[in-house]
Structure 1
Amino acid sequence: MNKLSPFLWFDDNAEEAAEFYLSIFPHARKVGELRSKGVGPWPVGKIATITIELEGQEMVFMNGGPAHPLTPAISFFIRCDTQEEIDDYWDKLMAGGGKPMACSWLTDRFGLCWQIVPRNIEELINHPKAMEAMMGMIKLDLHALEAAARD
């Protein structure tokens, strides 16, 4: 287990969210789960928490109820090597009701926010014209960013 892991509060769909993310990332696995034994707010047998690992990052999801919904204040940053990889993650995470935001951000159907960016995003947007180009994009266009960085 990682010493430091995100612990995310889901309404009542932590297991569904975990399965969704496990289906998207090529290096993903379920690490474990904690099912209720009738103590606490969960009925007997209900998953209280589920731990998964995506691309080496362990995270814990809890069925916490509606009191604390996910917000864009927390997001996961996916570094991609090609436009095809950007497109693939974008399409998969948008499936089933995701909502696009600006500058590579999206909120998936569970309310979790993601940023899908080129691996060298910091280098690219260090160029003012590339930063300006990115600010006008929803899903990032790697080729347009590279061209703007060359200008």
Structure 2
Amino acid sequence: MGVPKNTICIWYDEDAEAAARFYAETFPDSSLDEVFRAPSDFPSGKAGDVLTVRFTVAGIPCIGLNGGTMFPQTEAFSFQIATDDQAETDRYWNAIVGNGGKESECGWCRDRWGVSWQITPRVLSEALAAGGDEARRAFEAMMTMRKIDVAAIEAARRG
């Protein structure tokens, strides 16, 4: 399989393969594509340890690097997954949070590896794009939420 011109590289402590498997099982158009083992010892591991994995998340090519604890994850990087309804929002949110992840605010959560996710219903994005009072009402409703409540966003849009 050829290497894409541009690939997102995500630093993991040591579980890039487990993370990639979880993403492949959770999100459509996702897969664990290749596992590369270290040819010799390196600062955070030994020869034969998984060094990198190539995977795809919702159509986006990624590399997971098992680099050790030197660089922790932050919200400065996140995957944003657009959802079509509450059932899809719940499915992804519950999969991430229920697999050792953690809830945050305004549709954000972290997976067990520390990677941030925005589980964002399309109705919220559409309301914000509409601007004006509709956007303000939807934004103010969102600011009170952890997981996004689609019905509450729709009600806020209507006023």
Shift of 1:39: 4.9
Partner of 2:14: 12
Q: Over residues 55-110 of structure 1, what are the superposed CA-to-partner deviations in whole Å (9 max), with x where a residue is unaligned?
A: 21110000000000111111100000111000000000112321111100001111
Q: Over residues 98-128 of structure 1, what are the superposed CA-to-partner deviations in whole Å (9 max), with x where a residue is unaligned?
A: 1111100001111000000112433213321
Unaligned runs of at least 5 residues, structure 2: none
| Structure 2 residue corresponding to 1:143, chosen from 119, 144, 151 | 151
Distance across 1 between alignment mates of 2:32 and 2:18: 12
Aligned residue pairs total: 151
Report the aligned-residue RMSD.
Answer: 1.3
Partner of 2:90: 87
Contact 2:14 2:67 in 1 (8 A): yes
TM-score between both structures, scaled by the size of structure 1? 0.93
1:122 aligns with 2:125: yes
Further displaced range: 117-126 or 65-74: 117-126
Percent sequence identity over aligned pairs: 38
TM-score between both structures, scaled by the size of structure 2? 0.89
Further displaced range: 43-52 or 117-126: 117-126
